[in-house]
Structure 1
C-alpha cells in the first residue's frame, strides 16, 4: 500500500462532505418551500409525466427502484396532503391507479429544482468515458464505505426514503 498525501485525504473528505451538505440543504429547502421530501417529489414528477390515467404503485416502485411498500407509504402521505388520489383502474378494476391532483401539480410547479436533475444535466454533458469513470469512482467510494450492499433508489436524499427522516 502506498503512502497517501494527507492533503489528498482531506480533499477527498471535504468533497464527500460537500456532497452530503448539498443534499441536506436541498432537502431542507424542499421541505420549507412545499413540504415534500425528495422521494415524494419524485413520485409527483413521475405521475406528472403520465397521462390522466396515472400509474400503479407497482409501476412507480419499479421506476423508482424501491419496494412497493415504500411507494405505498409515500402515496399514503401524498394522499393525506391532497397531492395525489387513488382511483380504480379503467382497464383493470382489480388495480388501483395513482394520479396527481391539481394541488400536487402546483406543489411540483413551485418546488425548487431537484438536486438529482442538476446532477443529471451535468452528468449528461460529460463524455462517455467521463461518465464511466465517474460511475467507477462513485462505486469505489461506496465500497470503501461498506455501502455497496445498501438498497438505494436514484433519489438524492439523506433520510429514510419513505418518511424523510434521517437514518440512525
Structure 2
C-alpha cells in the first residue's frame, strides 16, 4: 500500500495563513465588542503576560514606538493600563495591565466564538499536541 504524500512547507504556510486570518478576524470582532481596536486588544493581550517597557511592547507588536504611545494613551485613559517607573532604571516606563484591563482581555477571549468552537472540537490529546507543535514552531529557540 502506498504511503500518503506528506504535506509540504508551502501547504502548511497556506493553512497557517488561513488559520491566522480567521483568528485575527475573530479577535478583531471581539475587541470591537469591547470598544477597542485590534491593536489595543493586542496590546492588552501582550501586557497580560506581564509588564513591558514601551520599546519591548513595540517590538512584540511589530510596530513603531510612536504608534504604541497612542495605543497606550487611549488604554490608559480607559483605565485598562497604567504607566510605572521601572524600579531598576527610572528612565524606563513600564506598562502594566490593570484589573479592568484583565477583565476586558478575558471578555475578548470569551467572545472569540469561532476560535473557541474550533479548538473545543479537539480532544485533550490533540490540544496538547497542537500546543507543543506551535510552541516548537514559534516559541522555542534553536540551541
Band of TM-score, shorter chain:
0.5 to 0.7
Residue 71 of structure 1 aligns to a residue whose secondary structure is helix
Give the number of aligned pairs.
Answer: 102
Match of 1:104 among 93, 101, 104: 101
Report how far residue 38 of structure 1 moved. 1.4
Q: Which has the higher contact order (CA 8 A, sep 6+)?
A: 1
Q: Report the CA distance shift for 1:91/1:115 in structure 2 as closer, same or farther (over 3 A).
A: farther
Residue 113 (structure 1) aligned with residue 129 (structure 2): no
| Distance across 1 between alignment mates of 2:92 and 2:113 | 30
Q: After superposition, where does 1:132-147 map in structure 2 within 5 Å?
A: none
Q: Is the contact between residue 58 and residue 64 of structure 2 (CA under 8 Å) also seen in structure 1?
A: yes
Give 1 or 2: higher helix fraction.
2
TM-score by length of 1: 0.50
Kindly report the root-mean-square deviation, in angstroms, between the aligned alpha carbons of the 2 structures.
Answer: 3.3
Match of 2:71 among 67, 71, 74: 74
| Distance across 1 between alignment mates of 2:48 and 2:32 | 20
Report how far residue 37 of structure 1 moved. 1.5
TM-score by length of 2: 0.58
Report how far residue 93 of structure 1 moved. 0.5
Q: After superposition, where does 1:59-98 map in structure 2 within 5 Å?
A: 59-98=56-95
Runs of 4+ in 1 over 6 A off after TM superposition: 114-118
